[in-house]
Amino acid sequence: MDNTDQISEKDKKNEASTHKIGIYLWIWGLLFVLSFFSYMVDWYQFQGMLRWSLILFFMFAKAGLIMAFFMHLFWERYALVNVLLWPMTAIACFIFLMAAEFQYTLFTRMFYFFVGGAA
Amino acid sequence: MSDPKIDGFELKPGFRGMASDTGSDQTMFKGVHWGKAMMWIFLLSDTFVFSCFLISYMKGRGSTPAEWPNPSEVFALDAFGVPVPLLLIALMTFVLITSSGTMALAVKYGYEKNRKMCGWLVLATAVGGLTFVGMQAYEWSKLIHEGVRPWGNPFGAAQFGSFFFMITGFHGFHVSIGVIFLFIYAYKVFAGHYENGGKRGWFTTMKGDYVEIEILGLYWHFVDLVWVFIFAFFYLW
């Protein structure tokens, strides 16, 4: 608590305080490395759960780095961060709903193509 | 990059701070420029639009019994006579991340009031975006020559084309709008519209400030962010 107060005191004095260039270059480099790895997932033709877990891991790592540091969310106050991130749970729910839905659609299609509706 | 200086209000950290910020009977986003808050809310709504496209793509691809075209073959490109999978897409990703990095540095130099450096970096970002759009135009024309249409294609499931053109087209449209604004803002930075208290903008009596470069940067990083998801779900799946 005291520590954060000191930091905000320092910020008040130094109005034009910006982040060091090193952090941007680090994130930039990491984004290239992560993109290279996610390309390698396709290059080596990994399949199944390994492919999916790698794709999703690199995707979320890249998205997180861009949002946290390039879009400065890491340094924003929670009032803004939470307004932005909580609605994403609605999207996650929607993804689960539609994933259940496409499996059902595929099932009914296969069923009527091969078994037929009249039987 | 907030600059929270509210007179007579004690800023608390973390979730306690969120509660007191929200219940303060004042502005909720302490120290956040209104333009930045508005851009974030726009980007949130845009997230929902892109999510709807990607979710409908997931549903369409998952529910068809027809075989889906293999992306690493459809999007392969011949380099010196050898087909390299996803070569063009990898280059497009590289270009977009490069432009995202130059944009992040432009925001930093803008806040440091380094006019020349900021202007050149915004211009470099614009050129990167233009390169991306050019490569996408090439990709589209190549696929159209190969017979990919929104209603069918020679590689497999007929839905492939409609999802491809809709999703990458909407993303490319965002990039194109971004490029136009990047060129405009590169001019504004070089012309010194944010120097010495700022020059009046269009249709407004408000003075310009380098925070506008951060707002533009938020949009540009969002375009890069969407590409991360498209790259994962459309090209790698």
**CATH H-level, domain B33-236: superfamily:** Cytochrome c oxidase, subunit III, four-helix bundle (1.20.120.80)
H helices, E strands: number in chain A: 5, 0
Q: Is B84 helix (H, G, I), strand (E, B) or coil?
A: strand
Which one of A11, A32, A55 has the shortest CB-CB distance to B232?
A55
Shared domain for A31 and A55, answered yes or no, is yes
Shared domain for A71 and A97, answered yes or no, is no
Burial class (CB in 10 A: 0-12, 13-18, 19+), A6: exposed
Which one of B63, B104, B112 has the shortest CB-CB distance to A24?
B104
Selected for mutation to probe chain B from A70, A82, A83, A93 (highest B CB count within 10 Å) is A70
Domain assignment present for A29: yes
CB B83 within 8 A of CB B229: no
Shared domain for A70 and A31, answered yes or no, is yes
pLDDT digits (tens, 9 = 90+) for B53-84: 999 999 999 999 899 998 888 888 877 778 88
Residue A35 CA to residue A54 CA, distance in Å, equals: 11
Shared domain for A92 and A117, answered yes or no, is yes
Domain assignment present for A66: yes
Shared domain for A99 and A66, answered yes or no, is no
Answer whether B59 sits within 8 Å of A21, measured CB to CB: no
Shared domain for A106 and A57, answered yes or no, is no
**What is residue B30's predicted lDDT score, i.e. its pLDDT?**
85
The CATH 1.20.120.80 domain(s) of chain B lie at: 33-236
Domain assignment present for A4: no
Nearest residue in chain A measured CA to CA from B211: A16
pLDDT digits (tens, 9 = 90+) for B147-181: 999 998 999 899 999 999 999 999 999 999 999 99
Nearest-10 Cα torsion for B80, A42, A71, B54: 110
Give the domain range for residue A43.
Answer: 18-77
Is B51 touching A (CB cutoff 8 A)? yes
Shared domain for A72 and A32, answered yes or no, is yes
Domain assignment present for A48: yes
Answer whether A95 sits within 8 Å of B29, measured CB to CB: no
Q: Which residues contact B163 (CB under 8 A, 6 or more apart)?
A: B53, B56, B57, B60, B61, B234
Q: How many domains does chain A have?
A: 2
**Residues of A (82-111) whose Cβ lies below 8 Å from B:** 82-84, 87-88, 91, 94-95, 98-99, 101-103, 105-106, 109-110
CB B162 within 8 A of CB B150: yes
Of chain B, the percentage scoring pLDDT greater than 90 comes to 68
pLDDT digits (tens, 9 = 90+) for A90-100: 999 999 999 99
Shared domain for A107 and A67, answered yes or no, is no
**What is residue A89's predicted lDDT score, i.e. its pLDDT?**
93
Is A77 touching B (CB cutoff 8 A)? yes
Domain assignment present for A5: no
